[in-house]
Amino acid sequence: MTKMQASLVPLSEVDEGFLQQWRHLVHQCIEPNPFFDPIMTLAASSLPGSTDVELLAVRNGTELCLLMPVLRMKRYRRVPAPALRTWKHDYSSLGNPLLTPNDPVTAVETALLFLREEKIATVLVLESFAVDGAVANAVNSALKRLDLNPTSLLTHTREAVLKHRGTDEVQHGLSSSTVKAQRKKQARLARKLGGDVGLAEVPRGPELDSAIEQFLRAEASGWKGEDGGAMANRPGHADFLRTICQGFAAEGRLQFKLFGTAETPVAYFCNFIAQGRIFGFKMAYDDEYRRFSPGAIAELELLTDFYSQTELTSIDSCRESKFPRHHQLFPDTLTISTLVIPLGIRGRVVARSIPIANAAGRRLREWNDALRKRMSWKKPR
* DSSP per residue, 306-342: HHT-SS--EEE-----SS--SS--SSEEEEEEEEEEE
Shared domain for 118 and 243, answered yes or no, is: no
Q: Is residue 224 part of a domain?
A: yes
Per-residue pLDDT tens, the chain, 381 aa: give them: 568 999 999 999 999 999 999 999 999 999 999 999 999 999 999 998 777 899 999 999 999 999 999 999 998 887 788 899 999 898 999 999 999 999 999 999 999 999 999 999 999 999 999 999 999 999 999 999 999 999 998 899 999 998 887 766 666 666 777 778 888 999 999 999 999 999 999 999 999 999 999 999 999 998 888 888 899 999 999 999 999 999 999 999 999 999 999 899 999 999 999 999 999 999 999 999 999 999 989 998 998 889 888 899 999 999 876 555 655 678 889 999 999 999 988 878 777 887 777 676 667 777 777 777 777 755 555
Range of the domain at 275: 167-312
Tell me phi and psi for residue 99, to 5 degrees.
-130, 140
Alpha helices in the chain, H assignment, sequence order: 16-28, 38-45, 104-117, 134-145, 176-193, 206-220, 223-227, 237-250, 294-307, 345-376
Shared domain for 143 and 172, answered yes or no, is: no
Q: Is residue 321 part of a domain?
A: no
Q: Is residue 87 part of a domain?
A: yes
Determine the pLDDT at residue 6: 96
> Where among 259, 277, 312 does a domain terminate?
312
Q: Is residue 137 part of a domain?
A: yes
Residues ≥6 apart with Cβ < 8 Å to 336: 128, 129, 130, 131, 155, 156, 157, 158, 320
Determine the pLDDT at residue 110: 97
Percent helix, strand, coil in the chain, to 5, is: 45, 25, 30
Determine the pLDDT at residue 347: 76
At position 266, the amino acid (one-letter code) is V
Shared domain for 149 and 173, answered yes or no, is: no
Q: Are strands 332-342 and 151-161 parallel, antiparallel or unpaired?
A: antiparallel
Shared domain for 287 and 251, answered yes or no, is: yes
Shared domain for 339 and 299, answered yes or no, is: no
Q: Cα–Cα distance between 230 and 210 in angstroms, integer? A: 18
Shared domain for 109 and 217, answered yes or no, is: no
Q: Is residue 353 part of a domain?
A: yes
Shared domain for 182 and 246, answered yes or no, is: yes
Q: Is residue 322 part of a domain?
A: no
Q: Is residue 199 part of a domain?
A: yes
Shared domain for 205 and 244, answered yes or no, is: yes
Assign residue 354 the CATH number of its domain. 3.40.630
Number of domains in the chain: 2
Work out the end-to-end distance of the chain between its first and last CA atoms, rounded to an integer number of angstroms: 83
Q: How many CB atoms lie within 10 A of CB 139?
A: 26
Shared domain for 218 and 256, answered yes or no, is: yes
Shared domain for 38 and 141, answered yes or no, is: yes
Q: Cα–Cα distance between 226 and 228 in angstroms, integer? A: 6
Shared domain for 9 and 146, answered yes or no, is: yes
Assign residue 290 the CATH number of its domain. 3.40.630.30
**Quick one: which H or E segment has residue 279?**
strand 277-285
Residues ≥6 apart with Cβ < 8 Å to 145: 105, 109
Q: What is the DSSP letter of 262?
A: S
Q: Is residue 287 part of a domain?
A: yes
- Residue 61, judged by CB atoms within 10 A of its CB (0-12, 13-18, 19+), counts as exposed
Q: Cα–Cα distance between 78 and 55 in angstroms, integer? A: 24
Shared domain for 36 and 70, answered yes or no, is: yes
